[in-house]
Each structure stands twice: as C-alpha cells, then as structure tokens.
Amino acid sequence: MDGNAAGEGDDNVDWNTEDELEVENYAASSSSCLARPSGDAASGSGEASSSASTSHSKLFCEFVVMGFSEKLVTKAIDEIGEGNPDAILESLLTYKVLENSPQEQDIDESAVVKEEVMDSDHLSSDYEGSFLEDSSDDDSYSESEEVINPSSEDKKLLFLTDMGYTVEEASIAIERCGPDASVAELADFICAAQMSKEADALLGPEEKPRLLNNFTKHKKRKHSNCDAWSKKRRGEKKLLHGDEEPIRLPNPMVGFGVPAETRTIVPRTLPEAAIGPPYFYYENVALAPKGVWDTISRFLYDVEPEFVDSKYFCATARKRGYVHNLPINDRFPLLPLPPGTIHEALPLTKKWWPSWDTRTKLNCLQTCIGSAKLTERIRKALEHHDGESEPPPRIQKYVLDECRKWNLVWVGRNKLAPLEPDEVEMLLGFPKNHTRGGGISRTDRYKSLGNSFQVDTVAYHLSVLKKLFPAGINLLSLFSGIGGAEVALHRLGIPLKNVVSVEISEVNRNIMRSWWEQTNQKGNLTHLTDVQQLNGDRLEQLMNSFGGFDLIIGGSPCNNLAGSNRHSRDGLEGKESSLFYDYFRILDLVKCIMSKGH
C-alpha cells in the first residue's frame, strides 16, 4: 500500500515516545527480581510465600527480564516447577493471551491470538503496522503458533469464548472446521457466519448493498449516463456468496511469475470491461479479511488478483495483492539486482550473527520499529547465559520471535538493533537519502517508508510498459505516498511526461517533489491532496490539457485491512480502507471520459 490514511491529523502522532511506553511493571519487576528483600510480601499469603521462594531464582529473573510479570512467572513456576523451563515459557505465553484478551470491545478476531502475546511497550502505527501480516510474512515464524494456538478442543473453546464468542458459536466452528483448525481459522469462520447473518438481515431484494453506497452516497456522478457504469455496478451482487469459492492466497506467492522462476506463464484472459485504455494497477495487503479481495476484484472489472511476496525480489518479505490489466509476458527485472539475503544487504551484521539465528530474509518492513527497552531486555536475557556455548532453546525462541516481529539485526555481542531508515530505503528499492533531510524527521521516514511500494516488485510488473510507451507516459498516481510508482517507472527508463499525484500527507508530497527536482524530470508534476475531491470536472480539465492518462496506479490505505488494527479491522467498510471505492470511482470516470473521445 503506497499512501496514507484520509486524515492528515495522523501526521501529528507523537512517534518519538516509544521508549517511554514501556509497560510500567517491567521496571518494577526487573529491579525487584534482582534486589527485592526475601521477606517482601506479595498480595495474599499463599502468593507471598511463593514469591519469596522464587525471588532470587535465576530462572524466575530470566522470565521477568523477558517482560513477563512476576505474578505470572510465580504462577507458572508453582504449577510446573523449575525443572521444565520450556513448559513454563509456553504457559506464560498462554497466560498472557488470556490475561490481555479484551472482554468488552470489538477486536480483530483472526489476529488477536498472535497479537496479544506481543509486548505492549512498543508504539504501533496508526497506518500500516500490521503485526499479523508481519509475522506471517516469514514462513519460519509459523513455529510460534504451536505455543499460542492450543491443540485441544477444550482449550480452543476457552480461547474463543475469552475472545467474546458464545459457546454455541465456538462449538459450531470447531465442528465445521475440524479439530486441526487453528484459533485464527475458527475465529474467521465465526466472523464470516456473523457477517452472513447480518447481510441477510440488512440487504432486502430492493435495497442497494452498502458497498455501493460507500462510494456513491455523498457524490453525484456527472457521467452517470455512461453505459459502462451500469455494466460495472458490481455492488448489486450480494456481499457473500455461499456457493462460490473465495479467492485463496497461493503458496508460493509468485503471482504470474517472478524473475528467478522458470515456469511457463499461463496466458490470462481479461474480462471485456477491463480491456482497453487506460492501464490500471491497484495494490494492497494480501492478508486482508475474508471477502476483501473478492470485493476488490469484483469492482475492478472481475480481474483476477496477482499475489506476490517481495522476498522473491529482495531481502525482505512483503506479501501484496495486485489487480491490474497489464500484459504479463516479457517482463524484466530492474538491474542491478538488489541483494537477496540479509547478509548480502547488510554485510556488517554477519560478524555478530549467531548460528542459531537461521533467518536469511527480513520480515515485512513496517511503519514502526522495536524500542530501545526491547533490545535492552533481549541483551539482559542473553547475558544470563554468557558462559554457555549457546543460550537455551527457550531463550533462542524468545529472541528469534522478537527479531522476526521487529526485524532486529545483530550489531554486536548480545546486541540487537532495529533497521536504520537508510537501510529500509535500500531494501525497498528507493535511492539513497530518498526520505532524508528537508525537515523530515526520523520517525516520519519510518512511517512513509512502511507505507510504500517495494520498488523492484512493482517495477517488474510495470516493465512491460517500456515497449508500449517509448516516448513517455501520462500517469495518474492515487495515494502516491513517497512516489514508489514514479521511482519504478524512472528506473525502468520510461519518461514521465505528465504526472498527477494525489497524496494527502504533506511530508510525502515534499519527499516526492524533492525527488522530482533532484532527478531532473522533464515532465509536468501536478500535486493534489485528496482523492475524495477529485471529480469528473477536474479530471476532464486535466485530461484535456494533455490527452488522457496511460496508467492509473495506487494502493488505498490498508488501516482497516491489516492485522494490527484489532479495534478497526472493518475491511472495506472501514473509514480509511473504504477509500478503495474512490480508486474505482476515479478509474471508472477516466474510462468513461476516454470512451467519449477525450
């Protein structure tokens, strides 16, 4: 997703306070486990004696240093005993899930199990900081599900009821999905059933679906008499199709092909409504709630999405879905090829990389980073075992889980650190210093980069345009962000004749404008701020000045699609992600205007 949410107010988030957001009881528990008097009483007589007996235990301190509360550590050790540290760690993770499960608020059903075990001391993004996606982007991360996804039906039932579902809903989900289904899959099943019930109750035979109303209720369409419009009112279909197979994410996620793959590309047939100018290219997170990509495809002329993971192009994963009408033959990658592994991209880290950290690819790069408190806690956990050849498996697992969540890299003995903005730029395919300087803060750089395209991946798809537009291209760039599409086209050697860039963030507009000037672009750059204000009159005015658009590209905000937004993961109905319908509205307006001969 290349672009920000609808409101500029989010630019005022205090991104510099993440180190101060540490869980309050960490400092207290960390110091008390090292220096607490043995006679210090805890609440409750039984708990007091238990705490006293474990207050100076190395194992006890070790788990407290990891960030678990003294109360939970004491409980786990009392139940299991100190002889099985791995079982204690599993119990602590489970306790933390149950302890933090919200009871009286709406949450993201499919992501809560993974997210609740994360440290609450980290500042998460209001834009795209998707921890569900982040953890899923690394295939090896799935091992952690064994800890936080209970294996027995009773435990799954407990998890689901703690998440707010009824016993009846949970029992039906387990029966329908089977005993091997994960908690996330069961939650998705319940959510889909609830949506289906709601849709049946709300959508009568004469009532227009809410999806259509999302982008038509507050806008009067000037070109409503265009025949193409009536043919594309996909919202007239029911939201949920019980007899249709939903879009499934492929494995491996290589779309219609990637540079390193030799398989023969199967030609695709585009629906008639998608054929003809202009070309369009839409991007968003692949791991969206169920039904989202079916809806996106339905609105974008029933074009089949192409799901691609950027780990096949660079050293970092980035699972994305793309809907486009571009040719899929004769693609070629950008040269020189970017580094393909962590050690190729960051060679100085190799000296300190332990053999038990088997990562070769970084996880999905986000808009936020791990805090200094986190890396300090990891250092202390490792130093507890400095005299050993390797830390024990439970410590390795703890460290690797945090490394995968936050893309931490080794910079010294027992010393991990988050990526620097310059390193993120390089991994995403942007030129050096693309987001640096000009009054742009360090945290703004992380935020803007986390919301951007992975340039090498997008350029591979757009490479087919080089033969089609040798003299240059007219581009309508919606939700432009920091100009990932423009950078990709420029690096492909496709001249940018006229670019209309629509981006609400002033920071991002400044980054884009600076790049345009520093690369000595010869074309015309027009900046607009809000896709919702781009109407038919303005489009006709722009298109009359240079003859129409060759490509409409963009990725609307994924705020309500990404897994981290437990409280607002409303899919395409959400406040920010509903801007997808403006992408379709504008695309369809351009097609209608061009079909009239403009």
| End residue of a domain, out of 397, 428, 459 | 428
Report the range out of 92-106, 162-176, 193-207 with the highest average pLDDT: 162-176
pLDDT of res. 41: 38
What's the chain's Rg over C-alpha atoms?
Answer: 26
pLDDT of res. 464: 97
Contact 100, 116 (CB under 8 A): yes
Q: Between 48 and 172, where is the model more confident?
A: 172
pLDDT of res. 146: 30
In a domain, 489, yes or no: yes
Provide the β-strand partners of residue 474.
498
pLDDT of res. 472: 96
Determine what percent of the chain is predicted with pLDDT higher than 70: 66
Q: Between 37 and 547, where is the model more confident?
A: 547
| End residue of a domain, out of 384, 402, 428 | 428
Same domain, 308 and 370: no
Same domain, 378 and 493: no
CA distances from 383 to 147, 235, 418 (A): 24, 58, 19
Average pLDDT over residues 295-323: 95
Same domain, 348 and 387: yes
* Alpha-carbon span 539 to 121, nearest angstrom: 46
From the centroid of its chain, how far is CA 69? 29
Average pLDDT over residues 158-163: 66
In a domain, 393, yes or no: yes
In a domain, 547, yes or no: yes
Phi-psi region of 589 (alpha: psi -120 to 50; beta: other; left: phi over 0): alpha
Tokens of 133: 């996606």
Same domain, 381 and 529: no
Q: Between 10 and 396, where is the model more confident?
A: 396
Q: If pLDDT is split at 50, 70 and 90, which confidence band does 560 have?
A: low
Tokens of 396: 């390795």
Average pLDDT over residues 256-270: 81
pLDDT in tens, 392-422: 999 999 999 999 999 999 999 999 999 999 9
* Alpha-carbon span 139 to 252, nearest angstrom: 10
Closest C-alpha among 441, 558, 557 to residue 507: 441
In a domain, 583, yes or no: yes
| End residue of a domain, out of 370, 404, 428 | 428
Closest C-alpha among 79, 63, 74, 76 to residue 41: 74
Average pLDDT over residues 166-186: 76
Q: What is the number of other CB atoms lying within 10 angstroms of the CB of residue 304?
A: 16
116-133: buried (b, 16+ CB within 10 Å) or exposed (e) per residue?
Answer: bbbbebbbbbbbbbbbbb
Owning domain of residue 398:
342-428
Average pLDDT over residues 223-251: 48
Q: Between 176 and 454, where is the model more confident?
A: 454
* Alpha-carbon span 176 to 189, nearest angstrom: 9
Same domain, 320 and 359: no
Same domain, 398 and 450: no
Give the least confident one: 57-61, 470-474, 561-565.
Answer: 561-565
Total count of domains within the chain? 2
Using the structure block, give the residue that is written with the tokens 């039904």. Answer: 291
Same domain, 299 and 369: no
In a domain, 200, yes or no: no
Same domain, 307 and 415: no
DSSP state, residue 362: B
In a domain, 77, yes or no: no
Contact 488, 322 (CB under 8 A): no
The CATH number linked to 466 is 3.40.50.150
In a domain, 91, yes or no: no
* Alpha-carbon span 341 to 339, nearest angstrom: 6
Whether pLDDT at 23 is above 50: no
Contact 203, 190 (CB under 8 A): no
Same domain, 503 and 562: yes
Average pLDDT, the chain: 75
Same domain, 583 and 488: yes
Average pLDDT over residues 100-128: 36
Q: What is the largest CA-CA distance in the chain?
A: 87
Same domain, 457 and 380: no
Phi-psi region of 32 (alpha: psi -120 to 50; beta: other; left: phi over 0): alpha
Same domain, 360 and 311: no
The CB-based long-range contact list for 181-185 (8 Å cut-off, 24+ gap) reads 182/145, 182/149, 183/113, 183/149, 183/150, 183/156, 183/159, 184/109, 184/110, 184/111, 184/113, 184/114, 184/149, 185/110
Q: Between 207 and 126, where is the model more confident?
A: 207
Residues with Cβ < 8 Å from 448, sequence gap 6 or more?
435, 440, 481, 482, 505, 507, 508, 511
* Alpha-carbon span 453 to 457, nearest angstrom: 8
Closest C-alpha among 462, 470, 481 to residue 551: 462
**Catalytic annotation, residues:** 558
In a domain, 310, yes or no: yes
